[in-house]
Amino acid sequence: MLIPHPLLGPRDAQEFFCLGSASLLDRPDGMSDGAQAAFHDYVYLRDNPAGVHRELWFHEQGDRSWLVVTRNTLTHEILGAELARDVALRAKGGAA
């Protein structure tokens, strides 16, 4: 499988470590009220869709970028990849 690295082009999936759902980007605030419940959901409740899934991949044997890769888990088709840093910054900007 090839991962379309946004900066380096297609690279073999063997260079990457896959962490799982990109929902891990949405870490709750540990100092807020109700943090226990929010962290419970964050740590344990993740979707496992048969179909399009946003995943975190680490280019461990490459440029050490974390990527958000959109992948169809049924066909292994990869629909896109972007730097997780950009996704995270966008989300934080939106929240502010």
Partner 1 sequence: MPDRVHDLSPLPATGGAAPATARHGALTLTENDGLALASLALRRGGAQPAPFGLTLPGPGGWAAQGEISAFWTGPDQWMIEGHRLAGMDFAARVAAEASGASVTEQTDGFAAFEIRSSAGEAPILALLAKLVNIDPANLASGRAARTGLHHMSVFVIRRAPDHLAVAGMRSAAGTLWHVLETAVARLDAAAA
Partner 2 sequence: MTRLSGGLIDRSRTLRFSFNGQALTGHPGDTLASALMANGVLLVGRSFKYHRPRGIFTAGSEEPNALVEIGSGARAEPNTRATVVELFDGLQARSQNHVGSLKRDLLAVNDWFSPFFAAGFYYKTFMWPQKFWEKFYEPAIRHAAGLGRLSGEPDPDAYDKGFLHCDLLVIGGGAAGLAAALTAARTGARVILADEDFRLGGRFLAETHPLDDAPATDWIAGAEAELSSLPNLRIMRRTTVYGVFDSGVYGALERVSDHLPGPAKLRQTLWRITARRAVLAAGATERHIPFANNDRPGVMLAGALRAYANRYAVAPAERVAIFTNNDDGHRTALDLLGKDVAVAGVIDSRAGAQAQGDYPLFAGATVTDSKGRHGLRAVEVTANGRAEWLDCGALGVSGGWNPNVHLASHHRGRPVWDEAAQVFLPPPDGPEGLFVAGAAAGHGSTAAALRSGAEAARDALAGLGLDVSLPDLPRTEDAGLNLHPLWHVPGKGRAWVDFQNDVTVKDIALSYLENMRPVEHLKRWTTLGMATDQGKTANVTALAVMAELTGQTIPQTGTTIFRPPYTPVALSALGGGDNGGHFKPRRLTPTHQWAAAQGAVFVEVGQWMRAQYFPRAGESHWRETVDREVLATRKGVGICDVTTLGKVDVQGADAGEFLNRVYANAMGSLKVGMVRYGLMLREDGVVWDDGTCARLADTHYVVTTTTANAGTIYRHMEFCRQCLWPELDVQLISTTDAWAQIAVAGPNARRLLERIVDGFDLSNEAFPFMACASLTICGGLRARLFRISFSGELAYEIAVPARYGNALMARLVEIGADLGATPYGTEALGVMRIEKGHAAGNELNGQTTAQMLGLGRMVSTKKDSIGAVMSRREGLASERRVLVGLEPVDPARPVVAGAHLFADGAEQNTDTDQGWITSGAHSPHLGHAIGLGFLDNGAARMGEMIVAANPLQGQTVKVRVTSPHFIDPEGERLRA
What residues make contact with partner 1 under the rule CB under 8 A?
7-9, 11-12, 14-15, 60-65, 83, 85
52 φ, ψ (degrees, to nearest 5)? -75, 130
Q: Tell which one of 2, 18, 52, 79 touches partner 2 (CB under 8 A).
A: 2
Contacts of 82 (CB under 8 A, 6+ apart): 6, 67, 68
79 binds, among partner 1, partner 2, none (CB under 5 to 8 A by kind): none
Q: Tell which one of 30, 51, 94, 95 touches partner 2 (CB under 8 A).
A: 30
Query: Smallest distance from the beta carbon of 62 to partner 2, in angstroms?
Result: 12
Determine if 95 is a binding residue for partner 2 (CB under 8 A). no
CA geometry: angle 67, 95, 29, nearest 5 deg: 80
Helix H or strand E encompassing 20: strand 17-21
